[in-house]
Amino acid sequence: MRFRILGTLEVRAYGDRVVLASPRQQRALAVLLLSPNSVVPVERMIDALWEDEPPTTAVKQVRNSVSALRGRLGDTGALIVTDGPGYRLQIDADDLDSLRFRRHVAAARALAGQVKLVDAVEEIRGALALWRGPALDGLRTTTLAGRAALLDEQRADAVELCAQWQLRLGETDEVVRELTAFCGEHPVREPSHLLLMRALAEEGRYAEASTLFHGLRRRLADELGVDPNLDLRRLHEQILADATPAAAPVDSTPANAAVATTPDPEPDRESPPDHHFGRAVAELAEAVTWQWRAEAELRSLHRPQPIALRWSALARPGEPALRGDLDDIAETYAELPSRQLVVLGDPGSGKSVLALVLTLELLRSRAPGAPVPVLLSLASWDPGREHLDRWLARRLADNHPALLNAREYGPDAPTRLVLGGHVVPVLDGLDEMPADLRVAALDALDQTMAVGRSLVLTCRSAEYEQVTRESGTVLGSATVVRLEPVSRQEAITYLSARDSAGSDRWHPVAERLRRDPDGPLGRVLRTPLMVDLARIGYGRPGEDPGELLAADDAAALEAQLLDSFLPHAYAQVPQPPGRNPKTSPSGRYTADQANRWLGFLARHLERARSRDLAWWQLHRAVPAGTRAALVGVLIALLFLATGRLSDGPELAAIYALSFGGAGYLTHRFGRPPEPLRTELRFVGAAGKFAGRFAVGAVVGVALGLGWSLAPGLVVLLALVFGVVFGVHVWLAKPVDASRVSSPATILRNERTGAIALSVSFLVSAGLFDGIAFAFTAQTRFLPVLGGRFDLALAVAGGLAGALFGFFMARGVGALCYGVAGAIAGGQVFPPATDPVLPFVVGLCFGGGIGLAVLVTRAWGNYFVHHLWLAATGRLPWRLMHFLDDAHRRGVLRQAGGVYQFRHARVQERLAQASPDR
């Protein structure tokens, strides 16, 4: 007969299960099996059979139970013997699973001691296979539970022992799979979490390892009031250090950026002490506070008598219903058992406003060293291409580029902030992501945030319900609140707040809402967005709100209110004296202009499936073929002039087609440039300048000797190229993380870098070409085609072009400009006879090279395509001024380095209503 207690109690005889119908018989057998071959006193059996006070006949009933048990077990029942003050179950080790388990574990330890880890793992797996659940599952009384818990602890030790041996064998995948489930069953067991973190780290899954640590730390604090042990804390610190190179949010230098302009990484020996990283947290909090405080003021969120935003939590079984308004959402969030909040609502219900106000309130009440709430739009995240933590770190770096300054804040501070739990993501607009990405996004959020990390997420109600229905995924630990519709009385109070006493302009609207609350007008005026648009459209005394009663359809009325927004936002009104031009709207733009230009931008964003209006992505508004042709033609024109002045129309055509074609192909098939987010800084750059100067001097000498120039000219080229290479060290990462990026600052810094880089190439390349044209010794190495082409010069020109193209645009640029350099560099033509001509030719050649460099930078790319769009009437000539003005008027909002339309419905309506041009 076989007995099993590693799980539910089971007794089997000859393969058939023996049923013990009486719970008292089951408990009697269980207490005997927990102490096999040992005497179990009657007192202990009494405690096992009765949870409460035993009856006065307990001893007799124990005897009766043992007698009945002997009879139920048949021949095996004779093995239960009376021994002194109790009973003893005589059993062979093969007949009880707990004894077989201990034997397997002992054998596995012996094999491990002989360094036979493969055999040890196999043996201990055999031991673990005996378990079917917690020992004596479903049968525990107080007495039984204590001894059964000892068995459970032995199982846990065996699981961790197996994981240790598997890690030594490199079987990390198995360890992750098994310990993930085990840690879910034992949420505060530190040794198993330590092993799982090691396995995740060895697989390069640093973000998940860090997430696991923070979840454990939160549970230990909540349940036991302690921190993770020293080994766990040290491992977490090591994981953060190891994650820096592998889990960087983005390469701070885009693939198509010039190597010469990339700020050098700081050496490890100059890494700052830990308190510098702590300063990064404090300065990030300061920057985020100023960023959203200014935005709240521009949106007039703190104006008197704002629209009341009320919310209610979706009730959970056994939990009290939560309700409140905008003033107490932060306090409610802070008291949540798991600080994860999902905010749902209809379009225009105020989800983004709630997220902004919650962010500011959490910052106001934030304790020193506490995580920093960071409000981000989800529209730019593609969960299929980028892990959530990597995207969060990249957005931190984009909005606060100083965090990438390793000298000031240590290596890769954005990633460390995210993985270290120093930020609370406030993610606005799951519904604003493309529909085909939402399921993957919610699944990624659930996986990354499921172990206790803080989170705030907003989404439209219908879209959230659809995503959860399609994916089956929900944020199980999150509290879900829904924004309530604006009440009829609140809507009327807000709409008529500016009217003088006794005015009845809004009376017909109030009557309609009272008589027909579910009609078109009543349905439209349930959201703060539409109520606000109604006041904007009909707030002035001369306007007639009665026009709102004419609409028979809610969609038509919404469209009417959305269409009235721009005309009123751009109404020409007298400005008061003393107006600050930096904070007040300009009067230079009309509503028609704004409607045309903003409509074009709205259609551009809708086609790109984006909410972020970034100036460096404006080129996407131009068809790919057109934008490549623009760049190619501009470059070709300058090289056409170079060839025409050098040796006539034939050389002009060769130069123009070669370099113009290279520019076209590079911009047609290469990656678009991104801003480098640098600024001019001279302090501490002397050593780097000297090193770069030496490299540039070597290049200048090589070029001078290759074209057989006189020694004095070679020295001149060395000096010029040295300076050109050296000045780029002055472009470095910002040093103050308390400053947040804005579209204007990013453009200004990028423009400085782009122009500096382009001018340096113009000077160096132009000087070299002009000197070579005027003073070359006309040495011929491998002439072909009747002396009109030199293969050796073609190889040299091709190598130079390939290096130039690689620095500017990586592989595609290297190929295209390498071919162009070979074709143009191999041309042989007579030296200049006019002393002025080399200067002009050098200027044209340098201009072509400088332009080719300029358009591989974000600002240069933007500059060319903005000129085209402005010339064709689709955008204003002063685009950034116009966008800033739209921001001050409340048409746009600013989110870090990008603009967004005030609301997705405004963008959608402009895209629909504005005709294509």
- Render the burial of 30-47: b for 16+ CB within 10 Å, e for the rest: bbbbbbbeebbebebbbb
* Average pLDDT value for residue range 511-527: 88
Residue 53, both tokens: 């006070």
* More confident of the two residues 835 and 374: 374
Contacts of 494 (CB under 8 A, 6+ apart): 305, 306, 307, 486, 531, 532, 535
pLDDT, tens digit, for every residue of 688-729?
777 777 767 776 776 676 666 778 887 887 888 777 766 666
Single-letter amino acid code for the residue at 473: T
pLDDT digits (tens, 9 = 90+) for 658-681: 999 999 999 889 888 888 765 555
E runs forming strands in 758-841: 783-784, 789-790
Q: d(Cα 627, Cα 872) in Å, to the nearest integer?
A: 14
Residue 350: half-sphere exposure toward Cβ, Cα within 13 Å:
25
List Cβ neighbours of 358 (8 Å cut-off, separation of 6 or more): 329, 330, 333, 373, 426, 456
Report whether pLDDT(106) > 70.
Answer: yes
| Between 371 and 275, the higher pLDDT residue | 371
Give the rounded distance of the alpha carbon of 466 from its chain centre.
23
- Tell me the pLDDT tens digit for each residue of 305-330: 667 788 888 766 556 678 888 888 88
List pLDDT tens digits, range 838-854: 889 889 988 998 999 89
Q: What's the pLDDT at 794? A: 84
Going by pLDDT thresholds of 50, 70 and 90, the confidence category of residue 144 is confident
Between 588 and 432, the more confident residue is 432
pLDDT band at 683 (very low <50, low <70, confident <90, very high): low
pLDDT at 582 over 80: no
- Amino acid, single-letter form, for residue 718: A
More confident residue, 564 or 49: 564
| Number of C-beta neighbours around residue 50 at 10 A | 18
- According to DSSP, residue 275 is labeled H
pLDDT band at residue 252 under the 50/70/90 scheme:
very low
The Cα 190–Cα 202 span in angstroms is: 18
What single-letter DSSP state applies at residue 94? Answer: G
What is the band of 584 on the pLDDT scale with cuts at 50, 70, 90? low
Contact predicate 907/606, CB 8 Å: yes
Q: Is the pLDDT of residue 755 over 60?
A: yes
| CA pair distance 675, 721, nearest whole angstrom | 25
3-state secondary structure of 355: helix
Contact 5, 151 (CB under 8 A): yes
How high does pLDDT run on average in the chain? 81
Confidence check: pLDDT of 267 > 70: no
Q: Looking at beta carbons, which pairs linking 282-285 to residues 24 or more positions away fall under 8 Å?
A: 282/368, 283/402, 283/736, 283/737, 283/738, 284/372, 284/374, 284/396, 284/400, 284/403, 284/417, 284/422, 284/423, 284/737, 284/738, 285/363, 285/366, 285/372
Tally Cβ neighbours within 10 Å of residue 130.
15
pLDDT tens, residue by residue, 799-814: 877 877 887 788 888 8
Which one is predicted more confidently, 143 or 436? 436
Residue 816 has a pLDDT of: 92
| pLDDT at 411 (0 to 100) | 80
- State the Cα–Cα distance between residues 828 and 647, nearest whole angstrom: 9
What pTM, to 2 d.p., does this model score? Answer: 0.66
Which band of pLDDT confidence, cut at 50, 70 and 90, is reported for residue 491?
confident
Q: Are strands 783-784 and 789-790 parallel, antiparallel or unpaired?
A: antiparallel
Measured from the Cβ of residue 447, the count of other Cβ atoms closer than 10 Å reads: 14
Q: Is the pLDDT of residue 796 over 80?
A: no
Cα distances (Å, whole numbers) of residue 735 to 65, 98, 272, 401, 740? 80, 63, 13, 9, 12
Q: Which distant-in-sequence residues (6+ apart) come within 8 Å of 267 by Cβ?
A: none
Residue 365 has pLDDT above 80, yes or no: yes
- Of 220 and 634, the structure prediction assigns the larger pLDDT to 634
pLDDT of 275 strictly over 70: no
- The predicted model gives 486-493 an average pLDDT of 85
d(CA 299, CA 288): 16
pLDDT at residue number 459: 93
Domains of the chain and any CATH numbers: 1-169 (1.10.10.10), 259-483 (3.40.50), 488-525+527-569 (no CATH), 624-862 (no CATH)
- Residue 865 pLDDT more than 70? yes
Residue 866 scores a pLDDT above 80: yes
Between 505 and 587, the more confident residue is 505
Residue 66 near residue 80 (C-beta atoms within 8 A): yes
